[in-house]
Structure 1
Amino acid sequence: MSKESSLSPEAKSVLGAMVSRRTVLAGAGGLGAAGLLAACGGGSDSADSAGTVRFGNWPYYMDYDEETKTNPTLDKFFEQTGIKTTYLETYDDNNTFFGTVQAQLKLGEDIGYDIVTPTDWMAARWIRLGYTQKFDVANIPNKVNILDSLASPSFDPNREQTLTWQSIMGGFGWNVEKNPKGIRTIDDLFAPQNKGKIVVLTEMRDTIGIILRSQGVNLQTITEDQFMNAVDFLEKKISDGWLLKATGNSYTLELEKGNANAVIGWSGDMFSLSNDNAGKFDFAIPDSGGTISGDNVLIPSTASAEGKANAEKLINFYYDPVIAAEVAAYVNYVCPVKGAQEEMEKIAPDLASSPYIFPDAATSKKLSVFRSLTPAEETTWEEAFQKALGN
């Protein structure tokens, strides 16, 4: 039996239209100039360069052509506008990225980016601290294309400072050879064959969110006692030797190297990893429910007037349904743009029906957003989570 035959039907439909990219990006030769800058951990210092925009994003979050070693939609943006994008894959997790720019933001100094991509809860922090700029709506007419379900988040009710880049499903990922029956419950994750070979995310809301859902907790009404109970569960698993590590996006490397058998991870990463490894990996939303959140494009308070205007043009470009569909066909995360599903029908019909890119009602019912935290809760809960991880 082939490795791919063990995949779920939903996963097969996703993989059927995907383009391999991880093997290209894994080495410096495939990173390109932008990736090499990102690997060094900094943004670009070309704050005053005319006709440029500096975009800080997560890995595997943009279309990529293996033959030309370019990002096709960024090439189209340049052709249409004459604006060159310095594309930097500098995100691994939210706290790490914020820590690298926080001091400069506080001082009002250029941080090396005109667009950054924090997750919902971190976007709320940027806004609360005054580290964002409001959009000039005239420059982003395609803003009206945001899905109704994403149009009014609590942290930016009128979407004046943020727009969703992609939405992220959190769930279980696994090596199908080591877990031939799949992983759909927390007990499946902590099965004997996975001891010492489990990786969880350093994103608290995903890792603890998945554990909370396995305990029957509603993520919209979590109490501190419920949260701490989930942290205790995780800490006990760590002390008993179940975990290999906690990390950001680099959990995919641990799976590829064979160091990890199973993860709490993200859907798009797992599908691309499976595609690049002949169906060796799979992903599922837990039976008890998964998490969903969004990564948001926003313009830092330190971006220059020209950088801001160019950033707004880029954001508007990616809210064109045609362009949004091209990106979604590549990254396989939940697309936030109205009309993109119809455009996907034209380029990748199998993906147009994927519930992992365009969730249907049944899929959406399995997913929950982690409720907003007060600043005090965010501090206390994050400290407890980090302590459990040994930090």
Structure 2
Amino acid sequence: MKQYQPEQLSATQQAAIRRSMAGGRGALSRRSLLRASGVGALTVGGVGALSACGIPPAKREGDAPAASDDHSKQEKQIAFSNWTQYIDISDDEKSRPSLNAFSRRTGIQVKYTEDINDNVEFFGKIRPQLAAGQDTGRDLICVTDWLAARFIRLGWAQKLDPSNLPNAYAHLSPQFRSPDWDPGRAYSYPWTGISTVIAYNAKATGGRKIESVSQLFDDPALKGRVACLSEMRDTIGMTLLDMGKDPAKVTDDDYDAAIARVQQAVDKKQIRRFTGNDYTSDLDKGDIAACLAWAGDLVQLRVDNPDIKFVIPDAGYMTSSDNLLVPAKARHKTNAEKLIDYYYELPVAAQLAAYINYVCPVEGVGPELAKIDPELAENTLILPDKAMAAKSHSFRSLSSKEETAYEEKFAKLIGA
């Protein structure tokens, strides 16, 4: 697997990556704040709050959200809510080139708002309007797969019109084509993919490779220098894979066995802590020798520290995604679909991937990305090759009851 070196990046690209590390989608605004504290918020204020607010935990089978009036022809505009630093930004940080190009081409003006700090908080922000059947003031939102599944389950996402999405349909990577929570992508398209892999600091391990979750949990040389993620689906998913179980088919018994496996590592103090992406500082310094990690963070970390390595375990790795949806009652559905489709044009997809460094869900983007930076086009953390994609696994969608029970058990495990 080719590793790329810091000196191979341009000064502009290194500056962009450092901006992303400081305040981007992969930085504390999402991972540390959500994953370090969001588990409790999910179980107490998220799933559980649905019933307390008089909101059904799931829509009835066969129900569909009521069609909304589409004002796209009369109103050439879109309101798009996204995470911070999750789109390309000009060198002077005063404009968003890809959005500007879309507006020039289509005449559709985009009100782009970076008002998603974590999934739980954002869901709480717009839930009252959706539950009341009101427009949220947003035509397009970007949320992580488990929350996207909840929107669809509750009937709070509009079904997309395939005729407005020719590029998206043609270019969506097979790896992301048909999640169980949205078969055939009827309601959503991924903005980026998020891969969970094993990372280690070669200097801290004395040059030893760390290649499996079993090593993380059992190697005495790593005792007290291991970190796992405070995202349940990632840590438990990677544990399930190591145990020979498929996270896409997880049963209650499988889940409990994985919880017990992690608990053993906690009890013998093998695991130092559970973290959001604040593991990056400790990994960089070598205070953490090895950990479960998000690929987007590793692309960024390796700019300054070539001792940071990553491994795709033989057992496989977990993949999740952040997804574009049109909320119920949005006024500009067709305009939003045009914007989704625009980001599946190969040159535009490459422009976005070169800036944010997460997994690009657009098949065939490699040659366009190579025009921007040949090294990025060869980085399998951004463009997984077929061998890597074949090892990817997703956690199956959970019912409201399962989600609450699973998150509560995990919260107890990690002390949240």
Q: Shorter-normalised TM-score: what interval?
A: 0.7 to 0.9
**Match of 1:378, SS?**
helix
Cα distance, 1:210 vs. partner? Answer: 0.8
Paired residue for 1:289, among 297, 316, 334? 316
Q: Distance in 1 between matches of 2:302 and 2:115?
A: 21
Stretch of structure 1 that moved more, 277-286 or 244-253 = 244-253
Alignment of 1:205-216 (within 5 A): 205-216=233-244
Q: Is contact 1:15-1:271 (8 Å) kept?
A: no
One-letter amino acid of the counterpart of residue 157, structure 2: T
Give the one of 264, 282, 299 matched to 2:292: 264
- Show the 5 A alignment for 1:125-204: 125-145=150-170, 146-179=172-205, 180-190=207-217, 191=219, 194-204=222-232
Aligned residues of 1:203 and 1:248 also touching (Cα < 8 A): yes
Distance 1:12 1:378 in 2: 39
3-state DSSP of counterpart to 1:152: coil
The runs of at least 4 aligned residues of structure 1 exceeding 6 Å deviation read: none
Q: In the alignment, is residue 300 of structure 1 matched against residue 327 of structure 2? A: yes
1:380 alignment counterpart = 405
One-letter code aligned to 2:142: T
Distance 1:252 1:55 in 2: 27
Deviation per residue, 1:56-99 (Å, 9 max, x gap): 23x5643344444543323323433452342416244x445434
Q: Distance in 1 between matches of 2:237 and 2:377?
A: 28
User: More deviation in 228-237 or 372-381?
Assistant: 372-381
Which residue of structure 2 aligns with residue 4 of structure 1? none
| CA distance 1:14–1:266, change in 2 (3 Å) | farther
5+ residue gaps in structure 1? Answer: 1-8, 40-48
Structure 2 residue 37 is the aligned partner of structure 1 residue 11: no
Q: What secondary structure is seen at the aligned counterpart in 2 of 1:10?
A: coil
Residues 247 and 22 of structure 1: CA distance in aligned 2, closer, same or farther (over 3 Å)? farther
Q: Provide the C-alpha distance between the structure 1 equivalents of 2:391 and 2:294, rounded to a whole number of angstroms.
A: 15
In 2: Cα distance, 1:309 partner to 1:128 partner: 22
> For 1:381 and 1:14, how far apart are their aligned partners in 2?
40
Q: TM-score, normalised by structure 1?
A: 0.79
Distance in 2 (CA, whole Å) between partners of 1:27 and 1:360 is 29
The separation in 2 between residues aligned to 1:258 and 1:101, in whole angstroms, is 41
The structural deviation recorded for 1:290 is 1.0
- What secondary structure is seen at the aligned counterpart in 2 of 1:154? coil
Instruction: State which of 19, 29, 35 in structure 2 corresponds to 1:24.
Output: 19
Distance 1:214 1:202 in 2: 18
Aligned to 1:105: 130
Contact 1:175 1:261 in 2 (8 A): yes
Alpha-carbon distance, 1:267 to partner? 1.1
Question: Which residue does 1:311 correspond to in 2?
Answer: 336
What is the alpha-carbon distance in structure 2 between the residues aligned to residue 374 and residue 77 of structure 1? 38
1:345–1:194 distance in 2 versus 1, CA, 3 Å: same
Q: Secondary structure at the match of 1:169?
A: strand
Q: TM-score, normalised by structure 2?
A: 0.74
What is the alpha-carbon distance in structure 1 between the residues aligned to residue 233 and residue 120 of structure 2?
A: 12
The CA RMSD measured in Å over matched residues stands at 3.4
Amino acid aligned to 1:143 = A
Counterpart position of 1:235 = 263
1:314-333 equivalences in 2 (<5 Å): 314-333=339-358
- Picking from 332, 345, 348, the partner of 2:373 is 348
CA contact (8 A) 2:299 2:381 kept: no
Equivalent residues of 1:171, 1:266 under 8 A apart:
yes
Contact 2:79–2:137 (Cα < 8 Å) also in 1: no
Going from structure 1 to structure 2, the CA distance change for 1:87 and 1:222 (only over 3 Å counts) comes to same
Residues 280 and 101 (structure 1 numbering): CA distance in 2 closer, same or farther, change over 3 Å?
farther
User: Which residue type is aligned with residue 328 of structure 2?
Assistant: S
Deviation at 1:256, TM superposition (A): 5.4
Residue of structure 2 in register with 1:3 after alignment:
none
Once the two structures are TM-superposed, the CA of residue 228 in structure 1 deviates from its matched residue by 0.7
Distance 2:145 2:7 in 1: 27
CA shift in 2, pair 1:353/1:255, >3 Å: closer
% identical equivalent positions:
36
